Amino acid sequence: MMATRPDPAGLYHPAMPATWWLRKRSYFLFMLRELSSVFIAGFLVVLLLQIAQISSGEDARAAFSAMLRSPGWILFHGVALAFAVYHSVTWFYTTSIVMPLRVRGRELPRWLFTALNIGAWAGVSLVILILYLALPASA
């Protein structure tokens, strides 16, 4: 059976404004999460360039490292870090929605699953930090 269609000539089609993401806090936070990818991608490009400098000799590597110590690059990395943390935390929360953990047929609370993920992330980060600090300064 065909659904009854209204007269298309009489329909009013509301347009979505370009500023739709400013209408609600949740939309804004979603856009921030999307924007975070740009900064994370930028950080990775810089990291890849830094690794590439290793094969260009000691002078090139030192010059690149010196450039990264400028206030602009430090600010960029600070912003990228903030976005990376925001992206990771929201990612862990969304993971709890996408792949819920079930214990005896019951879904674990999302906050608990998120907390477990963040705890594991913090633990791995701590291990990496300890290993880094344990490396000889000349390495």
Partner 1 sequence: MSERTITLDVTRYRPHQEAVPTVQSYAIPFPDDWVVLDALNHIKDQVDGSLSYRWSCRMGVCGSCGMMVNGEPKLSCAVFLRDYFPRAIRVEPLSNFPVIRDLVIDMSGFLDKLKSVKPWIIREQEKPLSEGEYLQSPRELDAYQHFSQCINCMLCYAACPVFGLDSGFVGPAAIALGYRYNLDSRDHGTAERREVLGDHEGIWQCTFVGECSVVCPKHVDPAAAIQRVKVDTAKDWILSLVMPWGQR
Residues that bind partner 1 (CB under 8 A): 3-7, 9-14, 16, 20-21, 23-24, 26-27, 30, 34, 94, 97-100, 105
Query: Are 20 and 27 a contacting pair, CB within 8 Å?
Result: yes
CB of 122 to partner 1, least distance (A): 24
Least separation in angstroms between CB 1 and partner 1: 10
Return the number of the residue (27 or 73) whose C-beta is nearest partner 1. Answer: 27
Residue-wise DSSP of 47-62 = HHHHHHHHTT-HHHHH
Q: How far is the CB of 21 from partner 1 (least distance, A)?
A: 7
**CA separation (Å) from 136 to 31, 47, 92, 132?**
42, 21, 34, 9
